[in-house]
Chains A and B, each alone.
Chain A
Amino acid sequence: MSAVILTDEQREALQEITNVGMGQAGASIATILNEFVHLSVPKIFILRADEISPSIVSLVGDAEVSAVRQAFHGAFRGEAIVIYRNQSHTDIADLMGYDPDVDTVEEYELILDVTNILVGACLGGVAEQIRADIGFSAPSIMAEHIPAGRLISPDEVGSAWALFVEVNFALEGRSFACHLIALMPEEEILAVGKALDWFMETL
């Protein structure tokens, strides 16, 4: 792991900002779903391309997962990936306005919806704090029922380094849980670093 791309100070600031962004996301989601949301302390790593897949495995275990990808763009670009352990999504169907006995197609629409909400709230919250303007593309299914270790292969990652921001969501009283990771290539990490510097100067 290398901290050269982001200074300790920048990384610490990003962690705190992500923490606040998540808190806002959690509150918004709690309002929509009417349930208490458990949030983990966000973790931030700068990883080599070949370290991404093992990090995902250590995050979710080597279970079968489905995943949704959503790109973000604007002041900084990257991809957010929300990873769902199988069998856990139907638990929130009713909260999202779906029939509790969703079929497969609806289940995918459901995790697309959930992803959109999590990514928008979480990354939107981060961007808003550092006054960066970012937008989101429509989410799309990245993988259906594959081992977590096969989600991202190193040769798919176009950058030598990636910023790996990890956030875990769980709903109290429901079995639903998922993991959000945001991946950004090297030059975008530098852009984030600049935005963080500017933000800290204004404090």
Chain B
Amino acid sequence: MSVSVLVVDDSPMARKMLIKALPPSWDVTITQASNGIEALAAYRTGTVDVMFLDLTMPEMDGYQVLETLRKEDLNCLVIVVSADIQPGAQQRVRQLGAIAFVKKPVKPADVQSVLKEYGILV
């Protein structure tokens, strides 16, 4: 069965880069959202298994998405993808419930190792 993946980023190029970086062997259905509100809407219509979430976005940013998900106790694996790669920022998103952090510019090897680390990809 294919895995449902939601890619959230306000930049089409960043979404494109991330999708390119996903392992080619991985059987996935991809949905895209360009801000937090769209992301939550997409999430609520179906079952999203894995969410790749950018932090800085207009309308609703990644931090707010994480807070909402945690408050509503929704079940989803969130991997934050961000250009802000200071250790402090990584710590903050983990506290908000993200399981992993991938730094921009996204490299296929980084995505793969994160997916493997959390058993999403065997």
The answer on a CB contact under 8 Å between A23 and B13 is no
Q: Interface residue count for B (Cβ, 8 Å)? A: 19
Q: Complex formed: what's the CA distance from A9 to B87 in Å?
A: 31
B104 touches A (CB below 8 Å): yes
Main secondary structure of the interface of A (DSSP, over half): helix
The answer on a CB contact under 8 Å between B86 and A36 is yes
The answer on a CB contact under 8 Å between B83 and A24 is yes
A26 touches B (CB below 8 Å): yes
Q: Interface residue count for A (Cβ, 8 Å)? A: 21
- Which of B14-22, B62-70, B72-80 interfaces with chain A? B14-22
Q: Which residues of A contact B11 (CB under 8 A)?
A: 12-13, 15-16, 19
Q: Complex formed: what's the CA distance from A15 to B83 in Å?
A: 12
B82 touches A (CB below 8 Å): yes
The answer on a CB contact under 8 Å between A23 and B14 is no
The answer on a CB contact under 8 Å between B83 and A203 is no
Q: Which residues of B contact A (CB under 8 A)?
A: 11-14, 16-17, 20, 56, 82-89, 103-105
What's the minimum C-beta distance from A24 to chain B, rounded to whole angstroms? 7
What's the minimum C-beta distance from B37 to chain A, rounded to whole angstroms? 17
A93 touches B (CB below 8 Å): no
Question: Of the candidates A15, A20, A39, A41, which one forms a contact with B104 in the assembled complex, judged by CB atoms under 8 Å apart?
Answer: A20
Question: Of the candidates A21, A27, A39, A203, which one forms a contact with B13 in the assembled complex, judged by CB atoms under 8 Å apart?
Answer: A203
The answer on a CB contact under 8 Å between A30 and B13 is no
Given contacts A12-B13, A15-B11, are A39 and B84 in contact (CB under 8 A)? yes
Q: Which residues of B contact A20 (CB under 8 A)?
A: 83, 104-105
